Amino acid sequence: MTFDEFGLSDLLLRAIGEKGYTTPSPVQLEAIPAVLTGKDVMAAAQTGTGKTAGFVLPILELLKDGPRAKSNRARVLIITPTRELAAQIGESVETYGRYMPISSAVVFGGVKINPQMQKLRRGVDILVATPGRLLDLHQQNAIRFDDLEILVLDEADRMLDMGFIHDIRRILAVLPAKRQNLMFSATFADEIRTLTKGILHQPIEVAVATANATADTVEQWVYPVDKSRKAALLRELVKNNDWQQVLVFSRTKHGANRLAQTLEKAGINAAAIHGNKSQGARTKALAGFKQGKIRVLVATDIAARGLDIVQLPQVVNFDLPNVAEDYVHRIGRTGRAGSTGKAYSLVSADEIKQLKGIEQLIQRHLTREYIDGFEPDHDVPPSGTLTKSHKAKRAANAGKGRHHKKQGGDHTSRGRGSDGHNHPGRRKRPASKNGNQRSSKPQVSGNR
């Protein structure tokens, strides 16, 4: 199926064509027709599958023939948890709506509020906002929702994780009762389903992937290493593999700063991005990373959603996340929109609990590979077997309430030399009894 078959206007199709897109992704294939019905929609899809276009395109189509927004009002409200994701959605609205007489604005904290108030004074058809700044603007009478037609909650599960539930409820209390509601999320845990009961009315449910699954296009490895040598190993990986663009996840803000400074001292252009950084610093770091001026961007989980970098080759988990679901979102920054990617996790012995949680969640054992010269003194213990009860529960949740038939998917294979390089010093290790695959495919070459 092509985008032409959705019945979208010529102006939208022109913008889509200029982006080079011809075939919709699985989530777009199911979500676009569902949103166009005008009914509430609840959609779950892996990150990096084109979810944003899945709601932006049909919203633009629904708005094209209506009246323009009045002063201090918005016709569509899109709420999202992070500044980076809000900016990304705003760019998508501008890109796809470039030939349409539709206005838009993006508002978030960390920057001056007055310019945002001035823009809203003229009225906007589509408003993209983070919860806190939206409430500030509403309290100052800069925005009203009398004419709101569509509400979108994007990355709903992340908003709950970040503690935005009370802000969301305060926002819902001032919205008109009659509106179309769209909820998009990478996962639909029980907490999310509870939240939907008070928002969505008889929604069309779209699910195009098993909940909490990692994309087939992302190859994944675990590198066991002592905690004290993680920074040295990362430095070797970057230098000896000539990585020019790598996103590295740190568990803490302090750790992100320290790691970026360590890499800078080693002659590797690096920058940190996290919640304590000013919006200007975050924007500058991200821009430098996208432009190739910064080789390593060290981020906390605030960047696990919303960073959309075209064909990002690899991501590295310097620390494993405490919440297993965050692993899925982290590695979802690579292998996006059908392209391939690689995810490496530097794991120390004290992270076995987090590793077990991740493998239980994604229902697969991650291949362990040992890098010559960085073999740990304290090895990572076996992570155990995957429980059948979890498999059954996960399979049941994946098919629960599905409205549309699943279509298509991305596939990749992994094997020796999949990155196009030879790796000297490979040491084979047999699989352990519990099913944990242990091999050695060092990404560090022998030229030290």
What is the pLDDT averaged over residues 25-36? 93
Both 198 and 242 in one domain: the answer is: no
445 domain-assigned: no
pLDDT tens for each residue of 263-275: 999 999 999 998 7
Cβ neighbours, 10 Å, residue 114: 9
User: Whole domain around residue 60: which residue ranges?
Assistant: 3-207
Q: Compare 430 and 75 and report the one with higher pLDDT.
A: 75
pLDDT at residue 401 is higher than 80: no
Give the global pTM: 0.65
412 domain-assigned: no
pLDDT at residue 188 is higher than 80: no
pLDDT at residue 352 is higher than 90: yes
Spatial strand order in the sheet of 180-185: 104-107, 124-129, 74-79, 150-154, 180-185, 41-44, 204-207
Both 365 and 231 in one domain: the answer is: yes
pLDDT tens for each residue of 149-186: 999 999 887 787 777 888 999 999 999 999 999 998 87
Both 366 and 317 in one domain: the answer is: yes
Q: Compare 346 and 308 and report the one with higher pLDDT.
A: 346
| Pairing mode of beta strands 204-207, 41-44 | parallel
Q: Which of 21-25, 179-183, 184-188, 425-429 has the highest mean pLDDT?
A: 179-183
- Sequence-distant (6+) residues with CB within 8 A of 123 are 68, 69, 70, 71, 72, 73, 74, 103
pLDDT band for 342, please (50, 70, 90 cuts).
very high
Q: Compare 52 and 307 and report the one with higher pLDDT.
A: 52
> For tokens 């020796």, what's the residue?
416
The CA distance from 132 to 109, in Å, is 7
Both 386 and 430 in one domain: the answer is: yes
For residue 272, the model assigns a pLDDT of: 93
pLDDT tens for each residue of 410-426: 333 333 333 333 333 33
Both 78 and 109 in one domain: the answer is: yes
Both 121 and 234 in one domain: the answer is: no
pLDDT at residue 215 is higher than 70: no
Question: Among residues 179, 207, 235, which one ends one of the domains?
Answer: 207
The CA distance from 256 to 261, in Å, is 9
Mean pLDDT in the chain? Answer: 83
